[in-house]
């Protein structure tokens, strides 16, 4: 059976191109992931993608528009509203979707142009949430691997039980531990991780053994 022109046949581990493998699928982003897989069901050929910064939202959006020859507006709320309005209309005419990556969606995103505001009101929204435990640990492991380091499971468990789960925190944790380990010429052991996070002000180690 031939795949309709406005659908894309995707393997379960999509996206995979260039550095798309860095997109780690979990419950925190699965709804957004499935939204793009099922884009033929969108009511209009446009969508808004929102979520925390550093959550992989741009990576997901870029992978999608590259495959369907769509158009991407990152930080869409900072673009000229008339340009967005015309791009939205052009997407409906061409059938090639537009994706707008935004920090906030309307009404938090205050749109001044009435015609654009009307169109965004019928534009679906995909959201990426803060990482769940599995994604948080996988992200930390990936960030350490970027530095040529292996974070042991016991270290991941220690971190996951003691710090706020967020994308920005994952980066902060890895930076703090790596800096400390380099300065102390230490291996990634639990004492090293504990001291690094304590001295970095990420956890309170007062009274710790």
Could you read off the pLDDT of 49-73 as tens digits, one per residue?
999 999 999 999 999 999 999 999 9
Task: State how far the Cα of 182 lies from the Cα of 44, in Å rounded to an integer.
Answer: 51
Sign of CA dihedral 99, 37, 39, 94: positive
Pick from 16-20, 110-114, 147-151, 182-186: least confident: 16-20
DSSP state of 45: S
Looking at residue 21, its pLDDT comes to: 64
Per-residue pLDDT band for 11 (boundaries 50, 70, 90) equals very low
Per-residue pLDDT band for 3 (boundaries 50, 70, 90) equals very low
Per-residue pLDDT band for 190 (boundaries 50, 70, 90) equals very high
Q: Decide if 25 contacts 14 (C-beta within 8 A).
A: no
Over the chain, what is the mean pLDDT?
89
Q: Decide if 26 contacts 134 (C-beta within 8 A).
A: yes
Looking at residue 7, its pLDDT comes to: 37
Task: State how far the Cα of 50 lies from the Cα of 149, in Å rounded to an integer.
Answer: 31
Task: State how far the Cα of 97 lies from the Cα of 71, in Å rounded to an integer.
Answer: 6
Looking at residue 16, its pLDDT comes to: 40
Q: Across residues 135-157, what is the average pLDDT?
A: 93
What confidence tens digit (pLDDT) does each residue in 89-145 have? 999 999 999 999 999 999 999 999 999 999 999 999 999 999 999 999 999 999 999
Domains of the chain: 20-127 (3.40.50.300), 133-199 (1.10.8)
Residue 13 has pLDDT above 80, yes or no: no
Per-residue pLDDT band for 1 (boundaries 50, 70, 90) equals very low
Looking at residue 97, its pLDDT comes to: 98
Q: What is the dihedral of CA 100, 105, 110, 112, to 10 degrees?
A: 40
Q: Decide if 28 contacts 1 (C-beta within 8 A).
A: no
Q: Which residues contact 164 (CB under 8 A, 6 or more apart)?
A: none
Residue 8 has pLDDT above 60, yes or no: no
Looking at residue 23, its pLDDT comes to: 84
Q: Which residues contact 27 (CB under 8 A, 6 or more apart)?
A: 132, 134, 135
Q: Hunting for tokens 């994604």 — which residue is that?
A: 135
Cis peptide before 87 (omega within 30 of 0): no
Structure tokens at 29: 């982003």
Which phi-psi region, left, alpha or beta, contains residue 2 (left: φ > 0; alpha: ψ -120 to 50)?
beta
């Amino acid at each position: 059976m031939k795949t309709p022109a406005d659908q894309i046949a995707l393997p379960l581990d999509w996206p995979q191109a260039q550095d798309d493998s860095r997109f780690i699928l979990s419950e925190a982003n699965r709804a957004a992931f499935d939204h793009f897989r099922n884009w033929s069901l969108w009511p209009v050929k446009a969508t808004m993608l929102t979520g925390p910064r550093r959550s992989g939202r741009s990576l997901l959006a870029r992978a999608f528009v590259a495959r369907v020859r769509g158009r991407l507006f990152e930080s869409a709320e900072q673009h000229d509203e008339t340009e967005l309005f015309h791009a939205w209309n052009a997407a409906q005419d061409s059938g090639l979707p537009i994706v707008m990556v935004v920090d906030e969606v309307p009404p938090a995103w205050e749109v001044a142009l009435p015609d654009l505001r009307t169109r965004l009101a019928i534009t679906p929204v995909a959201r990426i949430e803060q990482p769940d435990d599995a994604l948080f640990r996988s992200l930390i492991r990936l960030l350490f691997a970027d530095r040529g380091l292996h974070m042991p499971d016991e270290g991941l468990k220690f971190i996951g039980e003691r710090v706020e789960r967020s994308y920005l925190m994952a980066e902060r944790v890895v930076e703090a531990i790596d800096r400390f380990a380099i300065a102390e010429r230490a291996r990634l052991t639990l004492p090293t991780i504990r001291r690094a996070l304590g001295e970095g002000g990420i956890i309170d180690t007062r009274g710790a053994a």
